[in-house]
Amino acid sequence: MSHKAARLGITSLVLVLAFGGLLYSTMGESLEYYKKVDEVMVNPAEWRGKALQIHGYAKGVSRKADSLDWRFNIESNGKVIRAYYTGVTPDTFKEDSEVVVKGRLAADNTFNATEIIAKCPSKYNPAAVGARTSGAE
């Protein structure tokens, strides 16, 4: 192997390692898993401390008086996770609403939410088959 080829190989290796390290460190911080409650509760220890987006339905929604402290359950396929959130919630966040909650699972299997996204069922349900729409026919 010539001297020039060795230098080119070493330079390429350094660049690939540097780029890989940068990509890993950047992606590692922002990586979030999207899971349903029942998927997480199969093995909660695997998900503790990781950034998660958990999908399910809000049940037992309550707010501490004169505060923005919320607590509720997230349910999916018979499995439940207790969640806590402090902050302003979307208008569509209420009992039985479909939600995606971002945050982390704690050691006691409660979910410390940092963001709530609530789906409004009436906006996204398809119109009934044969239902008349406005406009000329």
Pair (89, 104) in one structural domain: yes
Name the helix (H) or strand (E) containing 13.
helix 3-30
Q: Which domain range does residue 109 map to? A: 32-124
Q: What is the pLDDT of residue 125?
A: 55
Pair (44, 95) in one structural domain: yes
In a domain, 129, yes or no: no
Pair (98, 43) in one structural domain: yes
Specify the pTM: 0.67
Predicted confidence (pLDDT) per residue in 120-129, tens digit? 765 555 655 6
Question: Rounded to the nearest 5 degrees, what angle is found at the Cα of 135, between the Cα atoms of 132 and 136?
Answer: 100
Per-residue pLDDT band for 101 (boundaries 50, 70, 90) equals: very high
Buried b / exposed e along 71-110 (16+ C-beta atoms within 10 A): bbbbbbeebbbebebeeebeebbeeebbbbbbbebeeeee
In a domain, 3, yes or no: yes
The two tokens of residue 71 are 């607590």
Pair (23, 58) in one structural domain: no
